[in-house]
Amino acid sequence: MSQNYKIHISSKHRIIDLHIRETFQYRDLIVLFIKKSFTVQYKQTIMGPAWAVINPLLTTIVFTFVFGNLARLTTADIVGEWVVPNFLFYMAGNICWGYFASTLSVVSSTFLANRGTMGKVYYPRLVAPISAALVRMISFGIQFALFLVFWIYYLIRGGTSIRITPWLFMIPLVLLQMMMLAIGLGMIISSVTTKYRDLGMLVGFGLDLWRYGCPIAYGLLLVPQNYMRLYMLNPVTPILVTFRHAVFGFGYFSLPYYLISWGVSIVVFMIGLILFSRVERTFMDTI
């Protein structure tokens, strides 16, 4: 007697089998994972979700005092008499980097952190990194709302060069690119660490070094012109300066470097998807 199966689970796949359609069918599970992760993240904490605001706020205060007041590093991305409050400059960079770094860090441990459920219950493995990235987007949304409060305050108070321009519509595109780059790198690291755990130990250290290689604590004018081309090849740099350009209404923007950054993000994302798809078939045997 023949039987018709709706779902066929097998370790044999095509060379490139990304399960995009199947992952979309499990969107309810993604929502469930987001709710669970957000709840667990702040469970048994007195401040609760307020920590999403406290962390970047304290970091911004430290950056303003150390790099702005003590070191007096420039916050200018372009030459000119442009005025932007140090506090707002550092907050813009910190909330973007905070989302990118936290997403990359969580996604990079996808297989290790979820081996318990993945070894017992079947669901598309892409659900885990996608839900991790989206739950961090909730925290980013809270932080961006706080940023907007200060942004509106300085805009109304005057005395700065901040202005409202159509560049604000670039923000969703910048966030999408930041998410793709973080997920892609995270999936690459997660796939490799199923065999080589040492790489997972270096993620935090690497992110700390990468942070100071990005224009977060200083403006682009601090970078020597001899190294500007190499510096702009860092895919995170065009993301940060474009975000600042969008929210402040002025700043540095180079279409060639921005397109290169997008190209790197797409390539990294696709490599991450392919590696993730290949490793998920046998990772329970090696993890």
What are the pLDDT tens digits along the chain (287 aa)? 455 545 555 555 555 566 677 777 778 888 888 888 777 776 766 666 777 788 889 999 999 999 988 989 999 999 988 899 999 999 999 999 999 999 999 998 887 777 777 767 777 778 888 888 998 998 899 999 999 999 999 999 988 999 999 999 999 999 999 999 999 999 999 888 877 776 777 888 899 899 989 999 999 999 999 999 999 999 999 999 999 999 999 999 999 999 999 999 999 999 998 888 887 766 655 55
Q: Can you give the pLDDT at residue 4?
A: 57
Q: Can you give the pLDDT at residue 191?
A: 85
Q: Can you give the pLDDT at residue 23?
A: 74
Q: Which two tokens stand for residue 197?
A: 């755990």
Q: Can you give the pLDDT at residue 259?
A: 96
CA distance 238 to 250: 14
CA distance 109 to 129: 9
Residue type, 56: P
By the 10 Å C-beta count (0-12 exposed, 13-18 middle, 19+ buried), 252 is classed as buried
Long-range contacts of range 221-227, CB-CB < 8 Å, 24 or more positions apart? 221/74, 221/76, 221/77, 221/78, 221/79, 222/73, 222/74
Residue type, 78: I
> In which residue are the tokens 């709710």 written?
35
Residue partners of 253: CB distance under 8 A and separation at least 6: 241, 242, 245
Q: Can you give the pLDDT at residue 223?
A: 93
Does residue 150 contact residue 91 with C-beta atoms inside 8 Å?
Answer: yes
Model confidence, pTM: 0.88
